[in-house]
């Protein structure tokens, strides 16, 4: 956990030319607004306000970089689904996010945040359809697992895993709660593997192999497929 608890804010960017020079490994955090993305980042880094938590959905409007140690980064992306902004601003976000996620060389994988009470929404599936052809792995945190009972949470997780196994076999998923810290060791193990660190052990692993399954790249003309669903 040491590398995570020493995470510090590095920079915020709103234009592609301001992206930090490629250095080390980057892990992106994405998800619908109000799904618990900022809370998950704060929990994983053992910080109260590293990522801004707001009761107003859509407050994360730029790409925020948090530095781990000398060269690794957690990258907080704007939440999609709620932000009510002028169409010109939304188009700018779409271009910024789609270009970063599809072309950023240091980006190893994406952590996709889903509220366990509303998993695999149309927007979430759109993100998966759009990102997985990059061949980079996706790990889903089913957040707010403390909001439902253990039996219900287990059923939701199994349903999600069954869906992923049939449709997105390179994706993994787990239960997570920022309030109870449920699933934190499992998340550390996955992220530690992605960062090339020694992962912490955990009892149950959703996938036997954490390395991404390489798929064919998007066909010509589909490079920005899915960009328009962001922030709808």
pLDDT tens-digit readout, 3-26 = 788 888 999 998 889 999 888 899
Report residue 69's pLDDT band, with 50, 70 and 90 as the boundaries: confident
Report residue 216's pLDDT band, with 50, 70 and 90 as the boundaries: very low
Say whether pLDDT at 76 is over 50: yes
Q: What structural domains and CATH numbers belong to the chain? A: 2-221 (3.40.50.300)
What are the pLDDT digits (tens) for 124-182?
998 898 898 899 999 999 999 999 999 999 999 999 999 999 999 989 999 999 999 99
Quick check: helix, strand or coil at residue 90?
Answer: helix
Cβ count near 11 (within 10 Å): 14
Mean pLDDT for the stretch of residues 63-83: 85
Report residue 34's pLDDT band, with 50, 70 and 90 as the boundaries: confident
3-state helix, strand, coil in the chain (%, to 5): 35, 20, 45
Cβ count near 134 (within 10 Å): 20
Report residue 58's pLDDT band, with 50, 70 and 90 as the boundaries: very low
Biggest alpha carbon–alpha carbon distance for the chain: 48
Question: Which pLDDT belongs to residue 70?
Answer: 80
What are the pLDDT digits (tens) for 86-111?
777 777 777 888 889 989 999 999 99
Task: Give me the sheet containing 8-13, strands edge to edge.
Answer: 8-13, 63-68, 72-76, 26-31, 107-115, 138-143, 171-175
Per the CB < 8 A criterion, the answer to whether 131 and 110 are in contact is: yes
How far is 59 from 142, CA to CA, in rounded Å? Answer: 21
Say whether pLDDT at 210 is over 50: no
How far is 37 from 117, CA to CA, in rounded Å? Answer: 15
State percent of the chain over pLDDT 70.
77
Question: Which pLDDT belongs to residue 53?
Answer: 46
């Amino acid at each position: 956990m040491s590398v995570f608890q020493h995470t510090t804010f590095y920079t915020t960017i709103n234009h592609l030319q301001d992206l930090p020079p490629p250095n080390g490994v980057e892990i992106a955090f994405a998800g619908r607004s109000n799904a618990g993305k900022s809370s998950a980042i704060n929990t994983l880094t053992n910080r109260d306000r590293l990522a801004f938590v707001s009761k107003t959905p859509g407050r994360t409007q730029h790409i925020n970089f948090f530095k781990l140690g000398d060269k690794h980064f957690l990258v907080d992306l704007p939440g999609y689904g709620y932000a009510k902004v002028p169409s010109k601003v939304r188009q700018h976000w779409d271009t910024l996010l789609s270009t970063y996620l599809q072309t950023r060389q240091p980006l190893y994988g994406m952590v996709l945040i889903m509220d366990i009470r509303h998993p695999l929404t149309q927007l979430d599936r759109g993100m998966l359809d759009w990102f997985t052809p990059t061949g980079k792995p996706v790990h889903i945190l089913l957040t707010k697992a403390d909001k439902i009972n253990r039996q219900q949470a287990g059923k939701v997780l199994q349903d999600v895993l069954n869906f992923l196994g049939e449709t997105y076999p390179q994706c993994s998923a787990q239960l997570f709660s920022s309030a109870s810290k449920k699933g934190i060791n499992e998340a550390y193990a996955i992220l530690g593997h992605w960062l090339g660190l020694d992962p912490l052990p955990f009892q149950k692993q959703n996938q036997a192999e954490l390395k991404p399954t390489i798929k064919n790249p998007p066909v010509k003309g589909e490079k920005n497929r899915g960009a328009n669903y962001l922030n709808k």
